[in-house]
Structure 1
Amino acid sequence: MSPIVGSPLARVDGRAKVTGAATYTADIEVRGALHGFLVLSTVANARIIGINVRNAERSPGVVAVYTHENMPRLAVPTEQGTVYWKRVIPLQNADIHHSGQPVAYVVAQTPEQARHAASLVDVSYDTSTPQADLAAAMDEAFVPTSGLKGPNDVTRGDPVSGLAQADVRIDVSYTTPMHHHNALEPSATTAVWDGEKLTIYETAQGINATKATVAAALGVPPANVRVLSRFLGGGFGAKGPVWPHTLITAAIARELRRPVKLVLSRAHAYTSNGHRPETHQRLRIGAKRDGTLTAIEHVTTSQVGRTEDLLFNTSEPTRMLYTCPHVRVTQQAVALHLPAPSMMRSPEAVASHGLETALDELSYELGMDPIELRLRNYAADNPEEDGAPFGSKHLEECYRRGADAFGWHRRDPRPRSMRDGDTLIGWGMATAGHTAGGRPGAGARVMISADGQAVVQVATHDIGTGTYTVMSQVAAESLGLDVDDVDFQLGDTAYPFAFVSAASATVPGVGAAVNRACTTARRALIDIAVADTRSPLRGVPADRITVEDGVLYDTDRRTRRDTVRAVVTRHGEPVEATANPVFIPPGYSTGACFAEVRVNPRLGQVRVTRMYGYFDAGRVLNRRTLRSQGIGGAVWAVGFTLSEHTLVDQHLGRIVNPNLSGYLVPVNADIDEIRMGFVDKPDLANLDALGARGFGETPMTGMTAAIGNAVYHATGRRIRDLPITQDKLIEEEGGAR
């Protein structure tokens, strides 16, 4: 079979994107569409006592202004298949739960008219003092009854006894600030009604979830709702669940009997799309002198909103990465007058940063190389599942190959020992680990036409990761066609079901479905050929026939062959096959991350000059797109560790830097050398997906701590409160933070 899978194929949608031919949601033009703009609350804990919309209604081009007084009533979606994590819908009553909550929705002929009219809406509030300070409210922490990935309080063994058995103990706390997604493409919704049928053009990484959620909120049959999302300009979790603005836009379009389009402003996205919440972590770890772990206690406290308590920053790394007999992991919440948090790329990155930083601190206490400490506690089998084997795990190879490539053996372990003139040099490492599977799968449909072309359809998404390309490769290899002869189509709920593109589930879920459907179609093609009296393959045993590059041939007599085009043409109708969803088996992608930093000790300025990662992601489907995912995770880790910080006025509960001029993300000029390597061995638990495993969120789970650990090695200062900004490194000499 042609070596299509694994090849570093360029993106099949690349030309469309760089030439502007790709149509993103906000680009879609619908005849007669009106435009919406949100009016957001300026207070965080209040009740509306008056709202004057007269000036807005008289403004040029305005069609309607909706408030809680005249907004159509909506039901909070709770049905199975819906993904709406807030427990309230704005514009349904006068209560204000956070600053930036929608209080009015202006509809006008143009976006500019809607935006101007929104500025004319006057709202009066009866306000109360908000609580927006996590540190000040820690005594109000509670453990929610359940989470996205099971219980929020998990104990294995007896951690109290395990800590007592330890020769060395550490007790440390870390904090991470609120983070925001800041995708290049803003969230957008266009709702179009045709009688009782609704079509929504949506920036969604969960079109089926959007369909179910909108149907439940509006009280219409799901069959009456179609959701489309062909291209997505970044989906980092914010576009997975359904947010209020989508439901409100659909309801208003139905009320006005006109299409309505809403594109969130950058500032609006900071309170309308969810975020990574502020967290506080406390870790207590015990170990024997030889580095053997005896106990881990890991308590993470996260901010949630006043109307929801769902937690996203799971502590799976603490439960799964290392062998330890006594473990307790607790996820706590503190309800604040702030917007609802959401999943954000690599939810495990928060807990992983804490764990991997604490292990680095332990390695210094023990006087042991941090790689050796991790190898002493290597988990060959899954501690979370009573020692059940992983589908595959080659983390030891990642440590070895990554360390060799980085040159780890040249590291002087003493802090502040490596210099280049006056510049301090630090090397740090950490383990990456991310679950990839254990989710609903996907279906797929394939049709091979008489021209030898195949159309493959799945209601999945390309959130920027390369789904169009990788699934075209899987389909081509499974069918025996060239990639140019495959048209992979996605982003339409009219296609077979797929789970939300999240939790690194697309490759194992959609890949498996595409492989199953295309394998069935190939077998049908072979059966047609061997039964066809006009085919040169007539009567050849089906198991002797291979399909390659659009040609069927007898493996015993390669000159005996037929073409896909000829077989289908003689058959007289397209060859079709489908695959139904199959639950994705749990998987675990791991790796070793290494970072080099250079620190100017006078200015406290940190530059990350080298990042190396070596990963086990199962079989590599496309080395170019996989490497790109690794690079993206490493770059995001630079922002996570050194600069990203959503600032909240804790007295007002208001976000004060809702823009890219104040929320600092890395740019190309900040990035030096990044290298990524892969073991490239199949995961035997997911052979349906050709042995591949989800990977995209994995690199960041290790790279943030690797950078932070490198800063400590360079400076001797342990910065436990992210981000590691210059002021924290140039404060009083000595001591840890």
Structure 2
Amino acid sequence: MSPIVGSPVARVDGRAKVTGAATYTADAQVRGALYGYLVLSTIANGRVTRINTQDAERSPGVVAVFTHENMPRLALPTSQLAAYWKRTIPLQNADIHHSGQPVAYVVADALEQAQHAASLVSVTYETRTPQANLADAMDEAYVPLPGLEGPNEVTRGDVGAGLAQADVRIDVSYTTPMHHHNALEPSATTAVWDGNRLTVYETAQGIGATRLSLSEALGDLPLENVRVLSSFLGGGFGAKGPVWPHTMFTAAVARHLKRPVKLVLSRAQAYTSNGHRPEAHQQFRIGAKRDGTLTAIDHITTSQVSRTEDLLFNTSEPTRMLYACPNVHVAHRAVKLHLPAPSNMRSPEVVASHGLETALDELSYELGMDPIELRLRNYTSVNPDNGAAFGSKHLQECYRRGAAGFGWSKRDPRPGSMRDGDTLIGWGMASAAHTAGGRPGAGARVVISAGGKAVVQVATHDIGTGTYTVMSQVAADSLGLEFDDVDFELGDTNFPYAFVSAASATVPGVGAAVNRACTTARRAVIDIAVADTRSPLHRVPADRIMVESGVLYDTERPKRRDTIRAVVTRHGQPVEATTNPVAIPLGYSTGAVFAEVRVNPRLGQVRVTRMHGMFDTGRIFNRRTLRSQAIGGAVWAVGFTLAEHTLVDHHLGRIVNPNLSGYLIPVNADIPEINIGFVDKPDPAFQEAFGARGFGETPMTGMTAAIGNAVYHATGRRIRDLPLTQDKIIGDGETE
């Protein structure tokens, strides 16, 4: 194998992005396109009793205004792969389920005209009091039926007996607020009809899902008549994975008007139109023997859902899978509120991970045991859920190497004991863990031209993670071509199907598909050479022929060689291979993460001054892009722990900070030195993907708890309500 896979090559799309040549969805130029703009409800519970659109319709440039009274009828997509998680479609009736729900869709010749006309739409409501506070409705919590991640309640062993056997017990609660994605690129849709054929330019992490949803929603539209395009994505953190109503509206309106229509959500509209990570309350009861051996974990999570949907996305795999514990009970409960529907959000396991890893830190202090030692004593090489061995798991090595790299042995474990003058210093650690794969896979197509170059196509996405680059590396290695002789294409439903770019499934799923297709094409080229009387490799056994850097040679007589270019040229036609999707096995990527904080005890100001992570990802395709993913996860962990939270007016059910001036995220000045390391050992369970597991969502898990644990170590104050803002540091909260 050539050294292309594993090399830290630069992003193939990097120059296009930094020079502005990359065309994002809203950049799509379509002749004659109209512009859409949404009017959103100002109430959270009730119904529209009257909507006056006359002034808007008379406004310059306005072509049409659609409301629930005249919006084309849409069918509810029901296929799971359609990824339309809502159970209602707005603008189909007068009912209002949350503030910010679409009540009108204005279409005009220019965007500014549509925006102005939207301000002229007058809506009268029958208003009912909304319920929008999770804390006030906890007694209404229930366990929903099995959802996307399986059952919402799982029991292993006897938790009551396990707690009774424990020498030490803790009973603690943690809360995390509502979070929003805030990708740099807002969601956008452009719909173009040609007869009964639809082309949609979409900000999508799942163009296959978008295609299926549109086919089902528009009723009489065959799947093969829908094409979805998404070449570049300016950030995909889950919000662009499911399909949302505005996409279906735009396609329906464009068909009705017989004109292309473009819609780009504003930043504020994205807060109620794209889902979010819901507010959550977690209750832990944990028992352990005096030697640190866990005897029981009882973990109940209660999250907000909408009034019309009850899908839950905050999975508890860390509690079930990360440590050896014979008695475990996890339950996910839902509370229906008059708020927008939650959705996928990057690292859904971070909520459970934050609670579990914080609770274990609390347990370590109760036991007087080093936090790493506690985790080592409960290490497991098998999945406790089913007893099956992991393909590979090198978490123990991550603990050892991570601790050495961070200097953990120099830590004084006493809270408040480490200082620099008046500044308190704290060190914290946690385990990082996230499932990877376990989803439908992908197909791939490769065409090798007479010029000796290859085009590889998959209907996948690059959500900023480096898919263009790493899949070019996989293709080059599998074909035996130089990296520059491969062109990887994605973002088009005319290419072979790929699952949504989510659940850390793209590298193992698309990587395996590209490897399969390219291996098939390479073998076809070898067979052509062997059968060709004009080839120096004529009649050489195929299993003796290697292909490297575009050259085929006989391993027993290396001077007997040919080139891919010559073989395909003599063949007289391109060599093609296409493979179908194969399901991806479930993997588990883990790591050990460490954080140092400095706390000003008078101001309550927390600065993260050092972060360190050591991860087991399986085989590394590209250390540069992988390190970037780990850094991104660490940055988001700083935001999650110290700043980010969506504020809701509980009386009105309205989000009050739908902007980047009120929703605080980290900036460069907030981010310290981040040291990242990798074990880099292939996982045999992912052999078709060269031993690489999915990883992108792993780094954020654990790091939030590591920061919180460091704050406790610095201050002796255990704050169990995120974010750890200054008022909580200096307030009257619990201290130890």
- Please classify the TM superposition score into its range, dividing by the shorter chain length: over 0.9
Q: Tell me which residue corresponds to 1:671.
A: 671
2:490 alignment counterpart: 490
- 1: distance between equivalents of 2:731 and 2:590? 36
Tell me what 2:554 maps to. Answer: 554
**Cα deviations by residue, 1:84-136 (Å, 9 ceiling, x for unpaired):** 11111111111000000000000000111000100000000010100000000
The AA in structure 1 aligned to 2:42 is T
What residue is the counterpart of 1:138 in the other structure?
138
Distance 1:528 1:735 in 2: 74
Structure 2: distance between partners of 1:345 and 1:439: 16
- In structure 2, how many angstroms separate the alpha carbons of the residues matched to 1:407 and 1:80? 47
Q: Deviations over 1:474-511 (max 9, x none)?
A: 00000011111000000000000100000000000000
Q: CA deviation at 1:439?
A: 0.5
2:543 and 2:71 mapped to 1: Cα distance?
63
Tell me what 1:452 maps to: 452
Residue number in structure 2 paired with 1:333: 334
Q: Which residue identity lines up with residue 561 of structure 2 in the other structure?
A: R
- In structure 2, the partner of 1:250 is 251
Q: Distance in 2 between matches of 1:260 and 1:383?
A: 52
- CA shift at 1:192, angstroms? 0.5
The equivalences for 1:253-402 within 5 A come to: 253-385=254-386, 387-402=387-402
Check conservation: 2:236, 2:463, Cα contact below 8 A. Answer: yes
Q: Which residue of 2 aligns with 1:31?
A: 31
In 2: Cα distance, 1:733 partner to 1:353 partner: 19
Report the Cα offset of residue 732 of structure 1.
3.6
1:114 match: 114
| Secondary structure in 1 matching 2:566 | helix
| Residue identity matched to 2:352 | A
Partners of 1:589 and 1:523 lie apart in 2 by 32
Write the distance in 2 (CA, Å) between the matches of 1:523 and 1:395: 38
Q: Shift in Å at residue 734 of structure 1?
A: 6.5
Deviations 1:501-524 (A, max 9, x none): 000000000000000000011111
Alpha-carbon distance in 2 for matches of 1:426, 1:146:
41
Please tell me the residue identity of whatever aligns with 2:215.
Answer: A
Aligned residues: 735
- Residue 2 of structure 1: how far off its partner (Å): 1.6
Tell me the alpha carbon deviations over residues 196-239 of structure 1, each in whole angstroms, 9 at most, x when there is no partner.
00000000000000000111010111111110000000000000
SS at match of 2:694: coil
2:650 corresponds in structure 1 to: 650
Quick one: distance in 2 between partners of 1:370 and 1:173? 19
| CA distance in 2 between partners of 1:147 and 1:356 (Å) | 25
Aligned to 1:517: 517
- Residue equivalent to 1:78: 78
Paired letter, 1:327: V
Task: State the alpha-carbon separation in 1 of the partners of residues 283 and 645 from structure 2.
Answer: 20
**CA deviation profile, 1:359-418 (whole Å, cap 9, x unmatched):** 000000000000000000001111111x11101100000000000000000000000000
Whole-angstrom CA distance in 1 between matches of 2:283 and 2:419:
33
1:413 partnered with 2:413: yes
| Counterpart position of 1:543 | 543
Distance 1:298 1:694 in 2: 26
**Partner SS, residue 381 of structure 1:** coil
- Separation in 1 of the partners of 2:505 and 2:405? 29
Deviation at 1:81, TM superposition (A): 2.4
Letter in 1 for 2:666: P
One-letter amino acid matched to 1:383: P
* C-alpha distance in structure 2 between counterparts of 1:94 and 1:530, whole Å: 70
Distance apart, 1:557 and its partner CA:
2.0
* TM-superposed deviation, 1:79: 2.6
Query: For 1:619 and 1:318, how far apart are their aligned partners in 2?
Result: 26
**What RMSD over aligned residues (CA atoms) do the two structures have, in Å?**
0.8
Report the AA paired with residue 619 of structure 2. R
Q: Name the residue aligned to 1:228.
A: 229
Matched, 1:17 2:24: no
The code of the aligned residue for 1:70 comes to N
Counterpart of 1:473?
473
Tell me, in whole angstroms, the C-alpha distance in 2 between the residues paired with 1:450 and 1:609: 55
| CA–CA distance in structure 2, aligned partners of residues 700 and 261 of structure 1 | 35
Q: CA–CA distance in 2 between the matches of 1:81 and 1:286? A: 40
C-alpha distance in structure 2 between counterparts of 1:60 and 1:558, whole Å: 75
* C-alpha distance after superposition, 1:25-69 (max 9, x if no partner): 001110000000000000000111111111100111000000011
The one-letter amino acid of 2:21's match is: A
CA drift of 1:147 comes to 2.0
Structure 2 CA distance, aligned partners of 1:716 and 1:148?
Answer: 39
Deviation at 1:551, TM superposition (A): 0.8
Q: What are the within-5 Å matches in structure 2 for residues 574-613 of structure 1?
A: 574-613=574-613
Amino acid at match of 1:118: A
Q: Distance in 2 between matches of 1:147 and 1:613?
A: 32
Distance in 1 separating the partners of 2:651 and 2:671: 36
Q: Residues 562-614 of structure 1, C-alpha deviation per residue, up to 9 Å, x if partnerless?
A: 11111110010011111111110110000001000011111100111111100
SS in 2 for 1:317: helix
2:551 alignment partner AA: V
Report deviation, 1:652. 0.3
**Cα pair 2:719 2:734 within 8 Å, conserved:** no
Which amino acid is 1:321 matched to? Answer: L
How many angstroms apart in 2 are the aligned matches of 1:584 and 1:536? 40
Q: Name the SS of the counterpart of 1:389 in structure 2.
A: coil
Segments of 5+ residues of structure 2 without an aligned counterpart are none
Structure 1 partner of 2:204? 204
> Does structure 1 retain, via aligned residues, the 8 Å contact 2:535–2:567?
yes
Contact 2:719 2:733 in 1 (8 A): no
Once residues 421 and 222 of structure 1 are traced to their aligned partners in structure 2, the CA distance between those partners, rounded to angstroms, is 67
Shift in Å, 1:733: 8.2
CA distance in 1, matches of 2:383, 2:447: 40
In structure 2, C-alpha distance between the alignment counterparts of 1:530 and 1:632, rounded to whole Å: 48
Q: Match of 1:612, SS?
A: strand
1:342 match: secondary structure? coil
Q: Once the two structures are superposed, what CA deviation does each residue of 1:543-573 show, in whole Å capped at 9, x if it has no partner?
A: 1111111111111222221111111100100
* Counterpart for residue 630 of structure 1: 630
TM-score scaled by length of structure 1: 0.99
With over 3 angstroms needed to count, the CA separation of the structure-2 counterparts of 1:46 and 1:615, relative to structure 1, is same
* 514 and 734 in structure 1: CA distance in 2 versus 1, 3 angstrom threshold: closer
Whole-angstrom CA distance in 1 between matches of 2:81 and 2:353: 29
Deviation string 1:663-696 (CA, Å, 9 cap, x unpaired) is 0111111111001111111110110001000000
> Aligned ranges for residues 184-199 of structure 1 at < 5 Å?
184-199=184-199
Query: Structure 1: where are the runs of 5+ without partners?
Result: none
State the 1:542 CA deviation: 1.1
AA aligned opposite 2:262: K
Q: Which secondary structure state, in structure 1, belongs to the residue aligned with residue 82 of structure 2?
A: coil
- Displacement, 1:709? 0.4
Question: Which one-letter code corresponds to 1:81 in the other structure?
Answer: L
SS of structure 1 residue aligned to 2:707: helix
Amino acid across the alignment from 2:19? T
What is the CA–CA distance in structure 1 between the aligned matches of 2:169 and 2:733, rounded to whole Å?
26
Moved over 4 A (4+): none
1:70-92 Cα distance to aligned partner (Å, 9 max, x none): 11111111135211111111111
Q: Deviations over 1:141-171 (max 9, x none)?
A: 0100112111001000000110011000000
Distance 1:689 1:21 in 2: 31
Q: What is the one-letter code of the residue matched to 2:138?
A: M
Q: Give, as a single letter, the amino acid of the residue that structure 2 aligns with 1:37.
A: Y
Specify the code of the residue in structure 1 equivalent to 2:75: A
Q: Distance in 1 between matches of 2:73 and 2:58?
A: 25
Partner amino acid, structure 2, of 1:13: D
CA distance in 2, matches of 1:299, 1:553: 61
Which residue of structure 2 aligns with residue 182 of structure 1?
A: 182
